[in-house]
Structure 1
Amino acid sequence: MAVFTPVSLDDLSGWITQFSLGKALAVKGISSGIENSNFFITTESGEYVLTLFEKLSFEQLPFYLELMRHLAQRNVLVPAPIPNRSGSIINALNGKPASIVTKLEGAYQPKPEPVHCAEVGAMLAKMHLAAQDFGIRQPNLRGLPWWRETAPVVLPYLDAGTQQMLRAEMQFQEDFAASEIYPQLPNGPVHADLFRDNAMFVGTRLTGFFDFYFAGCDTWLFDLAVTVNDWCIDLATGALDVARVQAMLDAYHAVRPFGAAEQQAWSAMLRAAALRFWLSRLYDFYLPRAAEMLTPHDPTHFERILRLRVNGAVPPLPGPN
């Protein structure tokens, strides 16, 4: 992601000796994103990804990294954390918690077709099922309590009409979370940020999901809604592409069938997923942090998506078996 904390080859050369990876040969910062400092590193044993965590603490990190290890051990396509010789997968580097994970093969798919969306939907369902017995529980830190804190902070930057929209959607989501349907939704560890640039492909073959550092426990339907709102849309308008939506939903449903409560909640959950990223992009745009390489995302993108989800029809979930 963005580089907030630089790492030189000299920094890496001494630090890497605690791992069984051989000598460090190269390090290159990754410029996309806004949360952590990520680097491609090359050692005598291969290529890996190094992450320095800018916000997450040593105490918070086991949830994310142990979740990745748990999933990798169950044949879910995710990067596997690399332990040092003492078995630790979290180690300090340049004053920050740091980890090394395996590098996924391939490249991200900027223009997904239905076949890509089907691959993602099936693996997302497999991931949800595989994480059911994960022993650590942590809420989605960008869930409703965070929305409540963040909305008042960004409201002063918005015009009157947009403020009214944000307040109305917050009330809708509060009512939805308090409804009888919401507690019936299956939940567990979720990725919560599975955009098209957080998955890798070789051709039409999915090689893995990465960047789990917004993961937490939430409804599985929220995770799917976040994914649909990026993978299955026209980026210029935010409109849903029905063929891609259907491919993703059908593939997910084939692995983990949807229940009746999920069918009822689907439209509201697509709105919730749009609201979460509208709020975070508003915050990052108007209250940015300094970084060596940082490009804040345009918040109006998810404002458009939210307006469409509020006012437009959405393809329904496949019915229960």
Structure 2
Amino acid sequence: MAVYTHVSAEALGDFLARYDVGELVSAKGIAEGVENSNYLVDTTAGRFILTLYERRVAAGDLPYFMALLDHLAAKGLAVPPAIKDRAGVAIQTLAGRPACLIAFLPGVSVSHPTVAQAHAAGEALAQMHVALGDFAGDRANTMGHAHWRPLLDRCGDGIDSIAPGLFIRVAAALDDVLAAWPSDLATSAIHADLFPDNVLMLGDRVTGLIDFYFACTDIRAYDLAITHSSWAFDASGAPIDPAVGQALLDGYESVLPLTEAERAAMPVLAQGACIRFLLSRAYDWVNTPADALVTRKDPLAYLRRLDWYEAHPKAFTR
């Protein structure tokens, strides 16, 4: 989450008048993340999240995201659907951007997950995959493996300003991963970005899965690999207690066991996840506007993860 587009109190008040959500009390920009502009909005009736969609989120994709959230909410999963105004409209326009008012969920995201919290997150991811088994929507993964080489080319030698030789290092890893990328594993709608900051928790209980704006149709086990690559390492990319990563896998498999083919593919899927986030972070690192209220994320944290997965090819074996 971030703030690229600033909204005046007057404009926000007029926006909220379309809804039955009370009157504006306060609004505060949320700085974390890099994709959209987000505000925490308090009204006389409660608390909400206002999201203005920018950069990688195309307006044409918003109906897919809203349908997916409605589907999961109808299945009883803790997700934040968009609130409809009095006319039944969920997707609005504010300050020249597509915008949605979104239900606020209780809980906090953890920065140092425990074994119990990782197990709960794995369960929640698997429950989401099960619930999406009959979801009819389809969206290509615009950050999927077919897009990584073009993204590396757009970064160009400029990413060597982040670390000398980074372009060549990533290009070599990308060659290996693409050559081994599986084509016969189960696919479904996936979250594709289930970092700890996109999981809300109260104690060891998951109270919300949020930020579905990379959701797409792709390999289901790849979603687990993405989640492992974020939960099993600290913010710098150093591996944490091995029991945490294992608990995530165990939690997932307590609901939805991996097939032998999925387990065999996990190392290359995890390396691919590292390349995907390394590249998107590197692109953002060199292209984020200087005046944006946003915290840039370290691309090298995913290079360190990539190094670890390459050095531990049996990390997912039992």
Counterpart position of 1:72: 73
CA distance in 1, matches of 2:295, 2:53: 18
Counterpart position of 1:131: 132
C-alpha deviation, 1:218, in angstroms: 1.1
Counterpart position of 2:216: 216
Give the counterpart letter for 1:63 in structure 2.
Y
- Count of aligned positions: 314
Give the % identical residues. Answer: 33
1:274-289 → structure 2 map (5 Å cutoff)? 274-289=274-289
Give the counterpart letter for 1:41 in structure 2.
V
C-alpha deviation, 1:13, in angstroms: 0.9
C-alpha deviation, 1:315, in angstroms: 2.7
Counterpart position of 1:141: 142
Equivalent residues of 2:118, 2:244 under 8 A apart: yes
**Which deviates further from its counterpart, 38-47 or 149-158?**
149-158
Equivalent residues of 1:53, 1:97 under 8 A apart: yes
Q: Go from structure 1 to structure 2 and tell me whether the alpha carbon gap of 1:165 and 1:234 turns closer, same or farther (over 3 Å shift).
A: same
Give the counterpart letter for 1:215 in structure 2.
A
CA distance in 2, matches of 1:240, 1:310: 17
Counterpart position of 1:188: 188
1:21-100 → structure 2 map (5 Å cutoff)? 21-55=21-55, 56-100=57-101
**Which deviates further from its counterpart, 237-246 or 135-144?**
237-246
CA distance in 1, matches of 2:216, 2:179: 22
Counterpart position of 2:245: 245
Q: Go from structure 1 to structure 2 and tell me whether the alpha carbon gap of 1:289 and 1:66 turns closer, same or farther (over 3 Å shift).
A: farther
CA distance in 1, matches of 2:257, 2:129: 12
Counterpart position of 1:273: 273
CA-to-partner distance for each residue in 1:202-229, whole Å, 9 max, x for gaps?
A: 1111111111111111111111111111
Residue of structure 2 aligned with 1:163, choices 145, 163, 167: 167
CA-to-partner distance for each residue in 1:149-202, whole Å, 9 max, x for gaps?
A: 11112231226743332121111122123xxxx232111111111111111111
C-alpha deviation, 1:61, in angstroms: 0.8
Ranges in structure 1 where 5+ consecutive residues have no aligned partner: none
SS of aligned partner of 2:230? helix
Equivalent residues of 1:15, 1:93 under 8 A apart: yes
Q: Go from structure 1 to structure 2 and tell me whether the alpha carbon gap of 1:237 and 1:60 turns closer, same or farther (over 3 Å shift).
A: closer
SS of aligned partner of 1:222? helix
TM-score (norm 1): 0.93
Counterpart position of 2:107: 106
Equivalent residues of 2:13, 2:24 under 8 A apart: yes
Structure 2 residue 126 is the aligned partner of structure 1 residue 122:
no
Misfit runs of 4+, over 6 Å: none
C-alpha deviation, 1:302, in angstroms: 0.6
Structure 2 residue 202 is the aligned partner of structure 1 residue 198:
no
1:11-22 → structure 2 map (5 Å cutoff)? 11-22=11-22
Superposed CA RMSD in Å reads 1.6
CA distance in 2, matches of 1:87, 1:205: 32
Q: Go from structure 1 to structure 2 and tell me whether the alpha carbon gap of 1:240 and 1:143 turns closer, same or farther (over 3 Å shift).
A: farther
C-alpha deviation, 1:78, in angstroms: 1.0
CA distance in 2, matches of 1:173, 1:285: 23
Residue of structure 2 aligned with 1:173, choices 159, 173, 177: 177
SS of aligned partner of 1:105? coil
SS of aligned partner of 1:104? coil
Equivalent residues of 1:245, 1:315 under 8 A apart: no
Counterpart position of 1:5: 5
C-alpha deviation, 1:43, in angstroms: 1.7
C-alpha deviation, 1:45, in angstroms: 1.8
TM-score (norm 2): 0.94
SS of aligned partner of 2:248? helix
SS of aligned partner of 2:303? helix
C-alpha deviation, 1:312, in angstroms: 2.2
Equivalent residues of 1:246, 1:315 under 8 A apart: no
C-alpha deviation, 1:14, in angstroms: 1.0
